[in-house]
Structure 1
Amino acid sequence: MSSLISIITPVYDPRPAFLSAAYDSLAEQVLPPGWAWEWIVQEDGESGIAERLLPGDDPRIRFARGRRGGVAITRNLGLSRAAGALVKNLDQDDVLTPGVLARDVEALADPAIGWVTSRALDLLPDGTTAGVGGEPGPGPIPRRTVVERWRANGHHLPVHPATLCLRRSLAVALGGWMAVPGSDDTGLLIAASTVVTGWFTGEPGLLYRRWPGQVSAGEAHSEPVERALRMRLISERADELAALFD
């Protein structure tokens, strides 16, 4: 396995302070000896805003632009450019906690583990944090556990999809982030967790920013008809994958 982890961040109309905070949290990571990271900053559009907001002299940042296609397509364009054996999502408004990349790398050193998630804390507008709750205990997560708990809990995940780190080969085999209008990270997490054992790290790995402008806080994201269609397709894909691997 190569000793590079690729962090993939789709960018569209970012808040400068939020994007800078995401970079700072990445720059402060300390990786195991021999490991390095690259940051794939993939813009959903052609404005070049990310290049103007982020340091142009950090060779670890790899900028790219593309025609507007939405967040899932933008993530997948980033995936196509990723050179690391491991890939990790980082949304443009979120913040990594110290040591999370090292913990992800350590968990994925076990060849039986295909993906890792960690505890997430909500980052509130006043700068305080709050626990999400409902996570499993730290350790391995057997295949199909995530989808079964997701279905039993009204399509609410037991682990946070924004914390996902997985083998690039697995992400590619599953088609990357799922091409649905929202919940694309849920689709990839459930697909990965259906075919291979994962790992949950109990230490917080992400500060998930809660703010009025986030897409998941908008009315369109929770519109019931579209949401039901997304959940149905994610669930059906999990069943078809399970049939192939059982």
Structure 2
Amino acid sequence: MPLISVITPSYRPVPEQLLEAYESVRAQELPRGWEVEWVIQEDGDTGAALDILPADPVVRFATGRRGGVALTRNMALARARGDLVKNLDHDDVLTPGVLARDIEVLASDPLVQWTTSPVLDLLPDGSTVAFDSDPAPGRIEPGHVFEHWRTHGYRLPVHPTSICIRRPLAVALGGWMGVPGSDDTGLLVPASVVSYGYFHAEAGLLYRKWPGQETAASGHYAPMEWSLRMRLIEERAETVRKLWPDVVGVTWGGRGGGV
């Protein structure tokens, strides 16, 4: 039976936020025949998430050594069994129907290797704020995201944390990139140079804005570190494009002949 894996790194989760993330996964209605697993990987070994979440066979939890968010995502990727991999941070919320939309695109269009969605900022008072620079919905040509990113001050036209990606492509690229705070950009940008993507019309994620989030810390925007990681992501994408010049348009099949 085809499976989509939602993978979530966890470190010192806020109970109410983790429960909202859980409820957003469990509320998803999937296309007929599909199943979902929620693969939670703790950045550490406290088992804190298990003390918060109800017993549920959909939830697959594991602990590990402290190593940061990129390593933790990749350990979750290693444990994930689905041919499609959906990212979800432990303080964010999936909107209704987003997994079905991801599956429908990736199951029907073999050229598309990843999808993203509009993201709404979720403010502490419960209100949401939309972005005003989303691209038109539909297929995204190879190279478009990369060229926009590097010609617009390293600002992406789509939100990388909303990505759903075929597992073989994610693995071939080394998973989430080992850079502080931009590991999701480090996966999306090289994926975008060697494959078609897709942008949904409907919002797919509520991105929680709160003082405890990693991107709210001042160090996330330290000029030297930010410049170094942007430079490395750009070099990675350029190198991938040079090494894989004939990959665009090739279908990355699933491990078990799935989507």
Same fold (TM over 0.5): yes
Report the Cα distance in structure 2 between the residues aligned to 1:80 and 1:242, rounded to whole angstroms. 25
Please state if 1:7 is matched with 2:6.
yes
Gaps of 5+ in 1: none
Aligned pairs for 1:166-181 (under 5 A) are 166-181=165-180
Alignment size in residue pairs:
244
Which amino acid is 2:66 matched to? R
Report the Cα distance in structure 2 between the residues aligned to 1:156 and 1:148, rounded to whole angstroms. 10
Deviations along 1:59-115, one digit per CA (max 9) or x if unpaired, are 010000001000000000000000000001100000000000000001101110000
Q: Which residue of 1 aligns with 2:227?
A: 228
> Per the alignment, in what secondary structure is the counterpart of residue 102 of structure 2?
helix
CA deviation after TM superposition for structure 1 residue 223, in Å: 0.4
Q: Indicate which of 101, 104, 116 corresponds to 1:103.
A: 101
Q: Which residue of 1 aligns with 2:144?
A: 145
Q: Which residue of 2 aligns with 1:91?
A: 89
Report the Cα distance in structure 2 between the residues aligned to 1:163 and 1:133, rounded to whole angstroms. 17
Which amino acid is 1:193 matched to? S
CA deviation after TM superposition for structure 1 residue 121, in Å: 0.4
Report the Cα distance in structure 1 between the residues aligned to 2:21 and 2:199, rounded to whole angstroms. 22
Deviations along 1:152-176, one digit per CA (max 9) or x if unpaired, are 1111110001100000111000000
Report the Cα distance in structure 2 between the residues aligned to 1:88 and 1:46, rounded to whole angstroms. 23
Q: Which residue of 2 aligns with 1:80?
A: 78
Task: Give runs of ≥4 in structure 1 deviating > 3 Å.
Answer: none
Please state if 1:38 is matched with 2:37.
yes
Taking structure 2 as the reference length, what is the TM-score of the superposition? Answer: 0.93
CA deviation after TM superposition for structure 1 residue 245, in Å: 3.0
Q: Which residue of 1 aligns with 2:67?
A: 69
CA deviation after TM superposition for structure 1 residue 133, in Å: 2.1
Q: Which residue of 2 aligns with 1:154?
A: 153
Q: Which residue of 2 aligns with 1:16?
A: 15
Report the Cα distance in structure 2 between the residues aligned to 1:245 and 1:169, rounded to whole angstroms. 15
Which amino acid is 2:168 matched to? S
Deviations along 1:112-166, one digit per CA (max 9) or x if unpaired, are 0000001100001100001022111000001110011011111111000110000
> Per the alignment, in what secondary structure is the counterpart of residue 45 of structure 2?
coil
Report the Cα distance in structure 2 between the residues aligned to 1:245 and 1:168, rounded to whole angstroms. 17
Report the Cα distance in structure 2 between the residues aligned to 1:201 and 1:47, rounded to whole angstroms. 37
CA deviation after TM superposition for structure 1 residue 194, in Å: 1.0
CA deviation after TM superposition for structure 1 residue 50, in Å: 0.7
Taking structure 1 as the reference length, what is the TM-score of the superposition? Answer: 0.98
CA deviation after TM superposition for structure 1 residue 244, in Å: 2.2
